[in-house]
Amino acid sequence: MIADSLGLALVNALFLAAGLGVTAAAGWWRGRGVLGSLGVSYLAGVALYGVVAQLLYVVGVAMTRLEVIALCLVLAAGTALQRAAPERRLPRFGLAGGAVAAVLAVLAVDLWFQPLWAYDAWTFWTPKAHALAALGGLDATWFAQPELVSRDYPLLLPAVEAAGFRFTGYETSLLDLQSWLFVCALLLAFAEVVVPRTRRWATALPVLLVLAPSLADQLASAEADLPLAAFVACAATTGYLWWQERDRSALLLFGVFCAGAAATKAEGIPFVVVVTAVFAAAALRRSAGAALAAAAAGAVALAVGVLPWRLWVDRHHIPQQASLGRVTDTALLSRQAGRVPIAARYLLERLFDPRAWLLLVPLLACLTILAWLRQRRETAVVAASVALFCVLAMLLAYWTSQFEIHYHLATSARRVIDAPIFAWAFLLPLAFPRGPDAELPKAKAS
């Protein structure tokens, strides 16, 4: 187990190195420093590794241990493009940061001893990852078999887990710790990007996130919803930086995180559409060029993250659980209209369930109203819009689902709501900028 843990640490160090190359090439380090970019860099590295690995699997690459190392080193080569000497600094951690670190440490100990027990993890996420490693790539006979559950789901998470299996062997108990690393990096990204821009009290939001019973439950599940939520939250945050600060490096990373979200789960596609549309619409009020850039970044991300996999799925005649055809089928929408109130009520109950998220969602709702009253309306509207339209996208998915509605809600809704909650929690503090008379950052010339 110790040796396998070292293997897991090694592969994640490769992901971090890849991400540092991606963020350096994008220009993200400038003014932040390498040590102030570790959380964003790790998640960017995982996102881009997963997207590229999915493409390589589709074209027949086995992604052996050497190929995993080679891909990460190619991505890490972007560090050579960082011309300016970076400032070496870490984000500041106060009492809230210490509380978060303590809870994460306890969770890590718990996950070390927990077996992999989630149904979805055992029925398709982990078997897909194991098959990629054991069968030497994307074996059509295995991946297209009718008995495989959710065979149309994209490959980012299985590709990441398969890379881990190359270094650890088939050690499934470590997959919980892989999920834990996603959450640690996401909270570090919050400290790097959001905390320096907002009032000190807003740092309490990550405490509520890590204390939420739903988070601890999902960490032990090793499913794709937490990685998806991390990518969507980072896409929303970098989209904000492009909208408000015209940070070109943020725009590039916005595309990386959108591609990662789209390549993680089927739900990632509508979430990316929502985030892209919201920030393009917000940017349009100030600059048509900025709006077009945001829309183009989201469109390219969708094409890169989705198209190669969808072509492979179509070529092997694998039916898709969700499709544009179902969403636009007026006969289907009319026939299943009775699902809408059922799904809406269920989603609202899960969002406001204190047994899952404590008081996080009511607090976010109250803070949104407070931001509106304090004339921080643009950011408040954008944050609430991202969350609201993501939930509406989920409602549309349940409306057109081919599964029995009560079964589908009971088996997925509690997890899929992660993305809108995380994005809301990351964006809303930015409506309360640091300093008693602070204004939102002025937009740079595009």
**Residues 428 and 435: beta-carbon distance below 8 Å:** no
At residue 285, the 3 state secondary structure works out as coil
C-alpha 222/C-alpha 141 separation (Å) is 25
* pLDDT in the model for residue 169: 86
Query: pTM for the full model?
Result: 0.94
Token pair listed for 353? 């369930």
* Tokens matching residue 105: 């440490």
CB environment 436-445: b (16+ within 10 A), e (fewer): eeeebeebee
- Region class of 318: left (phi > 0), else alpha (psi between -120 and 50), else beta: beta
The residue among 39, 53, 45, 46 whose CA lies nearest residue 22 is 45
Residue 231, CA distances (Å) to 253, 296, 434 in order: 10, 18, 25
Three-class DSSP category at 315: helix
Conformational region of residue 33, where left means phi above 0, alpha means psi within -120 to 50, and beta covers everything else = left
Residues 260/266/267/269 CA torsion (nearest 10 deg): 60
Show the DSSP H helices in 190-287 as ranges: 204-211, 213-219, 225-245, 248-262, 268-284
CA atoms within 13 A on the CB side of 385: 18
The backbone region for 31, taken as left when phi is positive above 0, alpha when psi lies in -120 to 50, beta otherwise, is left
Q: Which residues pair with 198 in a beta bridge?
A: 433
> What pLDDT, on the 0 to 100 scale, is given for residue 203?
76
Q: Which of 161, 177, 188 is nearest to 220 (CA)?
A: 177
Taking Cα atoms as reference points, which of 329, 351, 342 lies closest to residue 425? 351
| pLDDT of amino acid 109 | 93
* Domain residue limits, the chain: 2-81+95-317
Rounded Cα distance, 140 and 151, in Å? 11
Q: What are the φ/ψ torsions at residue 388 (nearest 5 degrees)? A: -65, -50
At 185, the amino acid letter reads A
Which uninterrupted H or E stretch holds 89?
Answer: none
Q: List the chain pLDDT tens, one digit each, 446 residues.
A: 788 899 999 999 999 999 999 999 999 987 677 888 999 999 999 999 999 999 999 999 999 999 999 999 999 999 887 755 455 555 666 677 888 899 999 999 999 988 888 889 999 999 999 999 999 999 999 999 999 989 999 999 999 999 999 999 888 889 999 999 999 999 999 999 999 899 888 778 888 999 999 999 999 998 999 999 999 999 999 999 999 999 999 999 999 999 999 999 999 999 999 999 999 999 998 899 999 999 999 999 999 999 999 999 999 999 887 777 778 888 999 999 999 999 999 999 999 999 999 999 999 999 999 999 988 899 999 999 999 999 999 999 999 998 999 999 999 999 999 999 999 999 999 999 986 444 433 434 33
Q: Could you tell me which residues are beta bridge partners of residue 433?
A: 198
Nearest residue to 195 via CA among 425, 446, 443, 436: 425
**Rounded to 5 degrees, what are φ and ψ at 433?**
-65, 155
User: Distance (Å, rounded) from C-alpha 190 to C-alpha 364?
Assistant: 16
Spatial neighbors of 363 by CB under 8 A, at least 6 apart, are: 205, 208
CA distances from 187 to 18, 180, 198, 216, 235 (A): 19, 11, 15, 14, 14
Half-sphere exposure of residue 152: CA atoms within 13 angstroms, side-chain side: 15
Residue 152: which of 311, 332, 363, 20 has the closest Cα? 311
324-355: b (≥16 Cβ within 10 Å) or e: eebeeeeeebeebeebeeebbebbeebbeeee
SS3 call for 198:
strand
Name residues whose C-beta falls within 8 Å of residue 98's C-beta, 6 or more positions apart in sequence: none
Cβ burial 76-104 (10 Å sphere, 16+ → b, else e): bebbeebeeebeeeebeeeebbebbeebb
